[in-house]
């Protein structure tokens, strides 16, 4: 067993504190009223600017619009609109905070994307979700189901304006392999709070990629659980916060069954006044989860003054019988030595900055083997880079 | 015909605890075709001199001048200096994760030459230069300097010299970290570049052994932030004999 803990943080990073309560005792419910209205001091809300949630957390944000769903799916993949009482919904997990429960209580109908049993999708499926529009609020629900031994790639592209809270479920059947990309490419005004439930069957594999670029406030909380042994989840994230943006990613990997793997790598860049990113990486290895292998890493690159990254990895281990576990987190300023080196070879400052930032994200791109997903991600990073050094 | 004139250069290193004066009046002129060895004990300010010429933000010039063919180098940005023809092979080349060597070299060549080299010629050119330096082709896809050994980093610095074709090359302890074979390979590449291009070389070194491969026209002893003695090859021989004891209070050998 190896346990590593390298939690180097610099002045830009906040003090990391160990959560008071173990993630094992975390409360979850489909019912919004079962949660108290958070005031902002609670462990899971303390980084979130509550005022900017526009009432999503206290019941005052009534639905006033809808998210438009456009699907361009592979021919083997079925996309349906189902009623909220469809019995398949809720299978991947239970809302664990009040906004997720609010979204679960308030959505009208859900988008269900199914990759049938034993089917290999011949192309990525693109689901585009367009926000309700400026000043409007919507609640939604999406479930992506990869049935046993299915293989597919699904992209959820979030664009447009407005306020949106949702639950996204990924139900990965036994032996299935799914790559998903959730892109938050919102307009500047958007507020998006999303709980993503990742449920892996026996020997299932999931590559879950989160890319957060736009929006005023985006809070994505992916929770991974295993329904049987042999599951392997890779959770990758890229976030790029500009002036005034709040981007929060709260990950929880709950290892409760033996012989599962999780690997988390999130990288964020920040630039501009008031750019704020929060990364929480909770990994719990319960007593039963023998032979678990887990590693999580978060790196942040602070490009300018006035931007702030909070990074809190937290590994709880309740069994000694694990294969390996580790976490690391680091936040650094832009490296002037790298910039100097590139410039000393004639490369102009702006281009040098872009090279360095592109290089910073390269490690994640390398892990994405689906060309379409990789290209989408590259394009998103390139678009952000246009603003670097400006 | 080019020249780099360093006139009464004073510079400080900028640190969190305040600035510290390092260079205390350096005077030196390097012309194309000349090789000047700068030899001095550790901590005498040799790297500071090279960084001040290249424009490293941590080193602030407080007075004096650096002119390249009469143009004020100190007013140029770091990248402008490189494009004007000044090259610094660093003592400690910097790692740039995620940026491939090939992308880096091509970006640099494009910047320095003013246009992107034609791909076909470029690939051939890089391959040829890498071959001369015994650099295996797999390095092209590796991140800049990342995980390179000390010797591999130094070879890549000289690879950049060959590709960027500067008028003035400052080689800061290129010999340190090289074994005997690597030293010969790297020296051969420098000598070949010198033979085929109009270049002035400032060869910074602590030890005399590289001077057996790259022959200096002038030898300068650097101590306490300035040149304290200048001469020809014989000065290096003397240093090899006696070390730096004459110039510092510590006995530091100049020979390995
Ligand atoms: N970045 C730095 N921070 C603090 N001190 C430095 C820095 N760079 C150089 N110095 C100091 O300046 C002096 C000269 O260093 P340097 O130019 O590297 O010498 P040399 O290359 O001759 O060994 C040394 O005393 C060194 O400690
Ligand atoms: Mg030095």
Over residues B243-252, the pLDDT tens digits come to: 998 888 777 7
- Ramachandran assignment for A133, one of left (phi > 0), alpha (psi -120 to 50 degrees), beta (any other): left
Ligand of minimum distance to the alpha carbon of B172: 2
pLDDT at A389: 53
pLDDT at A12 > cutoff 60 = no
Ligand of minimum distance to the alpha carbon of B90: 2
For chain B, say whether A358 makes contact (Cβ under 8 Å): yes
Confidence of residue A3 (pLDDT cuts 50, 70, 90): very low
Selecting from B78, B87, B97 the residue whose C-beta is nearest the C-beta of A343 gives B78
Q: Which residues of B touch A356 (CB under 8 A)?
A: 96, 99
Topology of the domain covering B3-93+167-248 = Rossmann fold (3.40.50)
pLDDT at A10 > cutoff 50 = no
Q: Is there a contact between B98 and A358 if contact means CB atoms under 8 Å apart?
A: yes
In the structure, which protein residues have their CB atom closer than 6 angstroms to any atom of ligand 1?
Answer: B 13, 15, 22, 40, 42-48, 58
Helix (H, G, I), strand (E, B) or coil at B188: helix
- Best CA proximity match to B68, nearest among B87, B46, B85, B47: B85
Distance (angstroms) between ligand 2 centre and the Cα of B51 equals 10
For chain B, say whether A355 makes contact (Cβ under 8 Å): yes
pLDDT at A21: 65
Candidate from A12-16, A340-344, A371-375 with smallest mean pLDDT: A12-16
Cα-Cα-Cα-Cα torsion A251, A254, A258, A259, nearest 10 degrees, comes to -10
Closest CA–CA distance from residue B237 to any residue of chain A (Å): 33
Q: Return d(Cα A3, Cα A325) in angstroms, integer.
A: 5
Q: Return d(Cα B163, Cα B193) in angstroms, integer.
A: 10
Q: Is there a contact between B96 and A338 if contact means CB atoms under 8 Å apart?
A: yes
Chain B residue closest in CA terms to A351: B107
Selecting from B54, B77, B164 the residue whose C-beta is nearest the C-beta of A349 gives B77
Domain ranges within chain B, ordered by starting residue: 3-93+167-248
Selecting from A336, A356, A359 the residue whose C-beta is nearest the C-beta of B57 gives A336
H/E element holding A332?
A: strand A324-333
What number does the ligand 1 atom closest to the CA of B40 have? 22
Selecting from A336, A342, A361 the residue whose C-beta is nearest the C-beta of B96 gives A342
Closest CA–CA distance from residue A371 to any residue of chain B (Å): 18
- Ramachandran assignment for B64, one of left (phi > 0), alpha (psi -120 to 50 degrees), beta (any other): left
Quick one: tokens of B127? 């391959």
H/E element holding A349?
A: helix A349-365
pTM over 0.80: yes
Quick one: tokens of A104? 């679960």
Q: Rounded to an integer, what is the distance from CA B84 to the centroid of its chain?
A: 16
Name which residue sits closest to atom 7 of ligand 1, judged by CA: B13
pLDDT at A390: 42
Angstrom CA distances, A100 to A367, B2, B206, stand at 30, 69, 65
Confidence of residue A9 (pLDDT cuts 50, 70, 90): very low
Confidence of residue A388 (pLDDT cuts 50, 70, 90): low
Distance (angstroms) between ligand 1 centre and the Cα of B45 equals 6
Q: Return d(Cα A46, Cα B207) in angstroms, integer.
A: 58
For residue A338, what are the contacts with CB-CB under 8 A and spacing of at least 6? A352, A356, B94, B95, B96
Q: Return d(Cα A339, Cα A360) in angstroms, integer.
A: 13
Q: Is there a contact between B54 and A344 if contact means CB atoms under 8 Å apart?
A: yes
Contact indicator for B219, B236 with CB cutoff of 8 Å: yes
Quick one: DSSP state of residue A21? S
Contact indicator for A352, B80 with CB cutoff of 8 Å: no
Q: Is there a contact between A344 and B82 if contact means CB atoms under 8 Å apart?
A: yes
HSE toward the beta carbon, residue A46, CA cutoff 13 A:
16
Distance (angstroms) between ligand 1 centre and the Cα of B42 equals 9
Confidence of residue A369 (pLDDT cuts 50, 70, 90): confident
Q: Return d(Cα A305, Cα A301) in angstroms, integer.
A: 11
Q: What is the mean pLDDT of each run of 10 residues along chain B (256 residues)?
A: 97 95 98 97 96 97 98 98 98 96 97 96 96 95 96 97 98 94 96 97 95 97 96 94 86 75
DSSP-derived pairing of the beta strands A261-270 and B218-223: unpaired
pLDDT at A42: 94
- Best CA proximity match to A143, nearest among A203, A217, A73, A90: A90
Name which residue sits closest to atom 27 of ligand 1, judged by CA: B43
What number does the ligand 1 atom closest to the CA of B50 have? 17
């Amino acid at each position: 067993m190896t346990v590593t803990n390298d939690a180097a943080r610099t002045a830009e990073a906040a003090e990391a504190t160990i959560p008071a309560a173990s993630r094992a005792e975390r409360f979850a419910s489909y019912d919004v009223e079962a949660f108290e209205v958070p005031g902002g001091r609670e462990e899971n809300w303390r980084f979130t600017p509550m005022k900017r949630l526009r009432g999503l957390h206290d019941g005052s944000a009534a639905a006033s619009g809808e998210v438009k769903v456009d699907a361009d799916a592979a021919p083997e993949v079925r996309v349906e609109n189902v009623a909220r009482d469809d019995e398949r919904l809720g299978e991947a997990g239970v809302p664990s905070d009040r906004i997720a429960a609010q979204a679960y209580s308030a959505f009208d109908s859900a988008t269900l994307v199914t990759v049938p049993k034993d089917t290999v999708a011949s192309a990525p499926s693109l689901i585009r979700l367009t926000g309700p529009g400026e000043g409007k609020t919507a609640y939604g629900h999406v479930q992506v189901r990869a049935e046993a031994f299915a293989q597919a790639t699904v992209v959820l592209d979030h664009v447009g304006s407005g306020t949106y809270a949702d639950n996204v479920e990924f139900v990965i059947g036994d032996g299935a392999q799914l790559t998903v990309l959730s892109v938050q490419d919102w307009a500047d005004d958007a507020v998006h709070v999303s709980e993503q439930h990742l449920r892996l069957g026996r020997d299932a594999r999931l590559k879950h990629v989160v890319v957060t670029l736009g929006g005023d406030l985006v809070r994505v909380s992916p929770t991974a659980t295993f329904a049987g042994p042999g599951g392997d989840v890779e959770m990758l994230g890229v976030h790029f916060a500009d002036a005034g943006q709040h981007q929060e990613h709260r990950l929880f990997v709950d290892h409760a069954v033996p012989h599962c793997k999780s690997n988390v790598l999130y990288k964020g860049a920040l630039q501009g006044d008031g750019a704020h990113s929060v990364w929480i990486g909770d990994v719990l290895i319960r007593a039963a989860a023998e032979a678990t292998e887990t590693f999580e890493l978060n790196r942040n690159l602070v490009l300018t003054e006035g931007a702030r990254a909070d990074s809190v990895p937290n590994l709880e281990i309740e069994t000694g019988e694990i294969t390996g576990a580790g976490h690391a987190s680091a936040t650094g300023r832009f490296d002037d030595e790298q910039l100097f080196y590139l410039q000393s070879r004639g490369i102009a400052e702006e281009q040098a900055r872009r090279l360095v930032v592109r290089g910073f994200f390269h490690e994640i791109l390398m892990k994405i083997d689906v060309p379409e997903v990789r290209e989408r991600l590259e394009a998103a990073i390139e678009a952000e880079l246009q603003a670097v050094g400006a | 015909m080019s020249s780099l004139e360093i006139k009464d250069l004073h510079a400080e290193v900028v640190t969190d605890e305040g600035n510290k004066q390092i260079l205390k009046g350096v005077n030196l002129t390097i012309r194309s075709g000349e090789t000047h060895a700068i030899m001095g004990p550790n901590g005498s300010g040799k790297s500071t001199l090279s960084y001040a010429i290249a424009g490293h933000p941590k080193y602030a010039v407080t007075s004096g001048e650096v002119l390249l063919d009469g143009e004020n180098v100190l007013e140029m940005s770091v990248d402008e200096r490189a494009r004007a023809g000044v090259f610094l092979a660093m003592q400690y080349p910097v790692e740039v994760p995620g940026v491939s060597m090939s992308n880096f070299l091509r970006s640099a060549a494009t910047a320095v030459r003013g246009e992107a080299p034609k791909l076909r010629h470029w690939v051939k050119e890089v391959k040829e230069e890498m071959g001369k330096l015994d650099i295996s082709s797999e390095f092209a896809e590796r991140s800049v300097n990342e995980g390179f050994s000390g010797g591999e980093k130094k070879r890549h610095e000289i690879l950049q010299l060959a590709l960027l074709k500067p008028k003035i090359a400052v080689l800061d302890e290129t010999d340190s970290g090289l074994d005997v074979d690597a030293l010969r390979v790297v020296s051969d590449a420098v000598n070949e570049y010198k033979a085929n291009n109009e270049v002035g070389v400032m060869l910074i070194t602590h030890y005399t052994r590289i001077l057996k491969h790259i022959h200096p026209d002038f030898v300068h002893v650097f101590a306490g932030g300035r040149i304290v003695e200048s001469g020809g090859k014989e000065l290096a021989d003397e240093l090899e004999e006696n070390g730096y004891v004459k110039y510092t209070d510590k006995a530091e050998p100049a020979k390995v």
